[in-house]
Structure formats: structure tokens, C-alpha cells
Amino acid sequence: MTSLSRVAAKGEMKLCRHPRDEFTRIPEDDGPDGHQLTVVSDDGVVADGIAFTKITATLDINPIEDDDDDGAEDGVDDGRATWDSKLKFVLACIGSCVGLGNFWRFPYLCYKSGGGAFLIPYFLMLFVCGIPLLLMEMAIGQYTRRGPVGALLSLCPIFIGSAIGVVIICIIFCSYYNIIISWSIYYLTQSFRSALPWATQGLIETPSNCTANSSTQRYFDAVVLQKSDSIDDYGGMVWPLLGCVIVAWVIVYFSIWKSIRSSGLVVLVTATLPYVFILVFLVRAVTLEGAGVGLKYLFQPEWSRLLDVQVWVYAAAQNFNSIGIGFGSMITFSSYNKFSNNLLTDVWIIALVNAGTSLLAGIIVFSTMGNIAYELDCSITDIITQGPGLAFVAYPQALAKMPYPHFFAVLFFLLLIILGIDSQFATVEVIVTSLQDAFPTWIKKKLRRHEILAFLVCLFCFTLGLPNLFEGGIYYFHLVDYYSSAISLMYLAFFEVVAVVWCYGAERLSRNLREMTGKIPSLYFKYCWRYLSPSLILIITVMSWMDHKNLTYGQTLKGEDPSKALPYPTWAIALGWFIASLSIIPIPLCAVIMVYRAPGDTLWQKVKEASKPRVEECKKCGKSSHNPITPCHCHYVVTNCHEKVSPAVVSSVPRTSINPTTYVPPTGLLLAAQSELSSDEKNSSHDQLECELQQPSERQLQSEVPEKLDSPHPKL
């Protein structure tokens, strides 16, 4: 039985009634053409937002064909798509979290920060910082049904700059992250040759330099990157990599060109297939000679390192980077959820799967590094590294010495491609969704289709990434990666937490979660939101500043000669700080603009107005205007209906003297009335509806008033 409240919820409005009105509902038999609902009252009736006096209103509701009715299952259809299933949402979030950093950063941090002792601060930071902030981001996305920009604008407009900074950092990230995928595609194509090309030259087995002088290092520098001597010698375009980047962007585009309709299908493969590959590599790695030596470095604890503050900073930073706090992907994916989706379960699944994957990656990497050290008779400290050096130098060296090297090489580089694609299209989706939320009217009029917007975003990011494809591009790659991620991300995360938890309010966020899930968060989450998480982010930021060192080039791996490390030139450092400032400047700039535009006589009044949430919350019952399932029923005025319909349609909707002067008919009645009009009447419309009350004639009212019903009916 289709309810009137469900049909009315198709418009963005707050539908309420006066508490003195008592009315009853009489369901009629469902006919072949739709459903009928009769609403009767002795004193006053509100039928889907329309107030009647001592009458019976019968509305014939015909099924309405929608292009996208996925969002209607929760009683809301605001034109936004909804995940077909909970599984697709969870897999998309896991795919976004589990990326290349799990394989080339987490193992290195374990080794560098005391082995098994590092797991204590890592999991502690996961529970006091990572999981609470993940729940916070997913909650505001699901509640507002908007991406980062739309969500922050609704909750705390004065900090909208932090959301704009998130979009900017996502654009920068997308411009160079696909370069890593292009390297993987290049290696994958070379893995089908009769002999692995990076294994054709003999190894120079110098214990102090066993990695830097390997054939895999020379192949990566001279063949893949065609690396120049310095950033000042930028050289020409590396054409094979350009072709690989184009292939990578084509894959990303077709993963998100239909928004979550296409990405939801893609993640069924890209978020599950890597675990098949991981299982294969896990079995193979732990059975290699020397694997035990590598695992000893990973798990043997150095308890004294727990007294090192830097170890705790590394643990917190790894949780932020891995889960994606501050990147906006969790907000974006959650905005396509049903309003009543149980977020608490999703958060624990996503966080624990991500942490478990990091542990498996550490076992695989250190087992393999132990095998290399055993084969070359050198220390594992001369081999272990992080970043591209691990994925494209150290690990290919191990692949070349395995039985069936071509098979494992194909699996490994396919794994890197899939992990990279998952993270990449999640970041692109943040950009696309934020643009749609910020400029919905312009995009609908000018671009018309989501596919065109997605194509333009991919093309723009591809163009920004072209400097990485020159012979000196590896230097630019490290420069952008260092200043965009290491410098800016913590600032954005800090102001996001301040906006949501301190300005919007942790208690109010808890009430929103109760509206969605039926459960209020525990004190554990509230305490972490208010105190622990902001404090940890601030500490990480300060420690990063204290540990800041100018970027150098020429020493990319553990075993290289330190004398080769040269500082970046002044112009390159200035460029790096400019890139970092692009995502930070919008925070104060947008705050000034919002305060300037806010109403008020004094500066303090303007700041208060600019900080007020745009989410209306009833002071009597606590429900908000974003709740489509059980809206507030404390008033009968209908507000904020944004439907554009013909005046002829509006005039055909029955009205009475009870209607307030600001009355706007709800969408359900408008659509029902519109179906009865001719096409000519429908076309005689204005862009924006401003309806005036039209009192029905006495004859019309008498024809609509039925005889008094004798039988009682259950109250709603």
C-alpha cells in the first residue's frame, strides 16, 4: 500500500501537522490503476499536507515512472542514486581504503618503528581515532545525502573551505596517482615477454649496496622512467608511459561514468579479486627460503620504541592515510546510502578488514625481503624501503628469482593495478559528486549528463598529470606527493572535525545517528570525537612540522650513496609550498566570505550566523528536515517544496480556508493533479512556482463533504 507520506516525500520539504488535528485513515481496495487512500476527520484533516475541515478527501495515486527510483525505498526520492545493495557500498569503501599504501608504507613503518611493538600504537590509534572519525564522516554523508562540499555547507557553512580544500587535494592526488598505475601497466605488459627484462642483467652483489645496483633498479630508472639527472633537466616526454596513463584513465572513466551504477559493479571484482592474489602470494612468500628472517624483523618487538613520540605519530598518520580520513571518499560513498542504513556495522567491517589487509601485506613483503637478503647474502636493512622503490625495484627482484616468475609477475602487477584503480576512481567520484552538489542547476542545463561531467574531470586531471611523464617527471612526482599529502591533509582533517564535532555538535550528530539507525552512539564515540581525535590530529600536525625536512632527490632507496642526495632547487621548493597552499587557503578565505555575507549588525553576530547549521531541527521532538522516514509532526505548514510545475496543475489541487498563506502543495498531490491535465495545460508553466490561495466555492465544498461515518476508525 503506497502511503501519502511516501509520495509527498518526493519533494524536499518538511511536512507537519498541528497537534490538535486528529485524523483517521481508511484504506480502500487497491485497484488496477493505483491505490486509494481516504482520510476522514471530525475537526480537521491533513491529507498529505493539505488541511480540510469536516470533509473526506480521496486521492487516487497512480504509480509514477521514475528514471531512478533507487532512493524511494526509504521514503525519499531526491533524484540521487542509491546503492543497489549494502554489499556494494561496503566493498566500495574497502576498495577505497585498501590501496598501495597498505603494501608499501605499512610494512616499512612496522620495520622502522619497532617491529611488533608498532602494532600496539597502530591498533590503539585505530580504535581511538580511526574508527570514530570514519563513523563521523560516513554519518554526515548518509544524513545529508551530499558529498563533502554539500555536507559541510549544511552542517557548518563557515568551514565550507575545508571541504573545498578536500576537493582540491583530490584533484592533485588524481593527477599523479594514475602515474603509479601506468607504471604497473607497463610492467604488466613486459611480464609477457619470453624473459623478464628487469632480470636479464646480472646482480652486483655488494652487501652494502645490494638493492641500489640491482638490475631492477637500473631497469626502473633507465627504461621505465628514462630518468634524467636532476629536476632542472626535465627532458622529453616518455611516450610509452603516456600510452599507459591513457589506458589507466580510460579504465577509471568507465568505472565511474554511470556514478555508483557502474562503480557498484566494478567493485564486485576490484574489491574481492585482490584477496585471491594476496592469498596466493601469502602462501608463496612464507614458503621461500629466508622468509623467517624477514618475519623476525616485522614481528620482533623493540619495546623501547614505545617511548618514542614519533612512533605514535607514525601510527596515527598511517591510520589517517589508510582509512582515507580527510579525503572525502567515505562521505561521498555514504551519501548514496539509504537513510536508515546501519552505519555502525559498516564502520567496524571496513576498519578491521583494512587493518587485517595491512598485516597480511606486511607478512608478504617481509617474507619476500628475507628471501632476497638470503639470496644476496646481505642484511635486510639494506633492502627494505617504502614507496615505489618497494613495488617496482625490490619486489620485482624477488619475482625474477621465484619459480614460474612470469605467472607471479602478472599476478603482482595486476594486484597493483586493481588496488590503484579502486583508490583512484573513489577519489574521482569525490570530485564529480562535489561539483554536482555545488552547481546542480548549471550542470543539468549545460552538461545534461553525468557521463560528460565525469569525462571532463578525468580529462582535467589527466592534463594536470602530464608533467609526471617527462624524463624529469619522477622528481615532480615526489615533490607533489610530499607537499600535497604530507603537509596539507592533516590541516583539512582538523578543520573538518572542528566543524562537525564542535560547531555542529557531537550531541546533535548523535541524535542524527539515532534517527538513521535507531541507536545512539556510545560515550566512547562522543569522547573520541570531542577530545581525542582533534588532539591527536593537532599533535600529528605539530610533530610533522618539527620533523619537517626539505625534500631531496638522488637518494630514493635505502642502499644508495647518501652523498648523491641533493636538495631540490629553490624554485621547486616554492612550487611545492604553492601546491600545499592551494588546499589550505580556501579555509580562511571562505570563512571570511561566509561571515561577510551573513546577516547581523556586529562581527560576532555574523560569525554566529555563518556557523549555524542549515539543517533544521525541531526543538520539540528533535527530528530534522533531513529525515524522510519519520518527519516532524509538530506543525502543519509545508515549506521548501522545490518542484517546478504548471500553475494549471497548482490550481487543480483542492484547497480550503485552513491553508496558510505560505502554503505550497506537496509533490504527491501535484503529480497526481498533473496526470489529469492535458499536455497543453502542463506546458503553460513558470520556472518557479509562487502559489496564492484559491478558496473553493461553497458548491465544491458541499460536493466533497460526505455523510458522517458511524463506524470508528483507528487513529494514526
pLDDT for position 210: 55
My answer on whether 269 and 308 are in the same domain is yes
Starting at the edge strand that comes first in sequence, how are the strands of the sheet with 56-61 ordered? 24-27, 35-40, 56-61
Asked if residue 582 and residue 561 are part of one domain, the reply reads yes
Q: How much is the average pLDDT of 628-640?
A: 45
Q: Are residues 313 and 399 in the same domain?
A: yes
Weakest mean pLDDT among 3-17, 283-297, 572-586: 3-17
**Does residue 607 fall inside a structural domain?**
no
Same domain, 7 and 115: no
> Is there a single domain that holds both residue 692 and residue 545?
no
Give the DSSP per-residue string, 540-584: HHHHHHHT----EES--STTS-GGG-EEPPHHHHHHHHHHHHHHH
Task: Evaluate whether residue 260 is within a structural domain.
Answer: yes
Question: What local confidence, expressed as pLDDT, does residue 541 receive?
Answer: 82
Looking at the structure, tell me whether residues 97 and 66 fall in a common domain. Answer: no
Does residue 515 lie in a domain region?
A: yes
Q: Which helix (H) or strand (E) is 464 found in, with range?
A: helix 450-464
Element (H, E) at 56: strand 56-61
**How confident is residue 19, by pLDDT bands cut at 50, 70 and 90?**
very low
Length of the chain: 716
The binding site for Na(+) comprises: 95, 98, 102, 322, 354, 419, 422-423
Residues 53 and 94 reside in one and the same domain: no
What pLDDT digit, counting tens, does each position of 496-536 carry? 999 999 999 999 999 999 989 888 898 999 999 999 989 88
Q: What digits encode the pLDDT tens for the residues 635-690?
A: 433 333 334 444 444 444 444 433 444 445 455 545 555 555 544 444 444 333 33
pLDDT at 78: 59
Predicted pLDDT at 692: 34
Mean of pLDDT values over 372-393: 78
Mean pLDDT of 268-274: 93
Confidence of residue 151 (pLDDT cuts 50, 70, 90): very high
Contact between residue 314 and residue 305 where contact means Cβ atoms under 8 Å apart: no
Q: Which H, E and C letters describe 486-551, residue by residue? A: HHCHHHHHHHHHHHHHHHHHHHHHHHHHHHHHCCCCCHHHHHHHHHHHHHHHHHHHHHHHHCCCCC
| Sign of the CA dihedral running 155, 161, 163, 164 | positive
- Note whether 560 and 695 are same-domain residues: no
Does 604 map to a domain? no
Is the pLDDT at 206 greater than 80? The verdict is no
Please compute the mean of the pLDDT values over residues 233-247 and round it to a whole number: 94
Residue 96 three-state SS: helix
Q: What proportion of the chain, given as a percentage, has pLDDT over 70?
A: 71
Least-confidence region, from 194-203, 367-376, 494-503, 581-590: 194-203
| Residue at 620 is within a domain | no
CB burial of 617-635 (b: ≥16 within 10 Å; e: otherwise) equals bbeeeebbbbbbbebbbeb
Q: What is the mean pLDDT of the chain?
A: 77
Give the whole-angstrom CA distance, residue 9 versus residue 15: 8
Instruction: Please indicate, yes or no, if residue 452 is contained in any of the structural domains.
Output: yes
The binding site comprises 95, 98, 102, 322, 354, 419, 422-423
**Range with lowest mean pLDDT among 434-443, 567-576, 624-633:** 624-633
Predicted confidence band of residue 590 (pLDDT cuts 50, 70, 90) = very high
- pLDDT band at residue 563, thresholds of 50, 70 and 90? low
- pLDDT > 50? residue 276: yes
Residues 418 and 479 in one domain: yes
- Cα(274)–Cα(272) distance, integer angstroms: 6
- Domain limits for position 229: 86-593
Phi and psi for 470 in degrees, rounded to 5?
A: -90, 170
Mean pLDDT over 174-183 rounds to 94
What percentage of the chain reaches a pLDDT higher than 90? Answer: 41
Q: How far is CA 270 from CA 92, 245, 263, in A?
A: 9, 19, 10
Q: What is the pTM of this model?
A: 0.76
* pLDDT at residue 361 in the model: 92
Residues 139 and 242 grouped into a single domain: yes
How many CA atoms does the CB half-sphere of 91 hold within 13 Å? 20
Give the span between the Cα atoms of 92 and 346, in whole angstroms: 11
Distance between CA atoms of residues 229 and 211, nearest Å: 19
Q: Of 74-78, 193-197, 201-205, 348-352, which one has max mean pLDDT?
A: 348-352
Task: Kindly state the average pLDDT of the residues 191-216.
Answer: 65
H or E element in which residue 78 lies: none
Q: Say if residue 586 is in the same domain as residue 656.
A: no
Q: Say how many domains are in the chain.
A: 2
Residue (of 214, 252, 273) closest to 421 by Cα position = 252
Chosen domain end from 568, 593, 618? 593
Q: Say which CATH number the domain at 196 has.
A: 1.20.1740
Tell me how far the alpha carbon of residue 503 is from its chain's centroid. Answer: 22
Domain termination site, one of 593, 608, 638? 593
- Name the nearest CA neighbour of 554 among 293, 302, 292, 221: 221
Residue 386's pLDDT is 65
Give me the mean pLDDT over the 579-590 stretch: 93
Q: Which amino acid is at 695?
A: Q
Sorted by sequence, the CB contacts under 8 Å of residue 72 that are 6+ apart come out as 6, 10, 66
| Average of per-residue pLDDT across 350-376 | 90
Same structural domain, 155 and 15: no
Round to whole Å and give the CA distance between 247 and 121: 40
C-alpha–C-alpha distance, residues 563 and 303, integer Å: 33
Query: What count of other Cβ atoms lies within 10 Å of the Cβ of residue 289?
Result: 10
> Would you say residue 150 lies in a domain?
yes
Would the pLDDT of 710 be above 90? no
What pLDDT shows up at residue 307?
A: 86
Q: How far apart are CA 319 and CA 317, in angstroms?
A: 5
Domain boundary among 593, 612, 642: 593
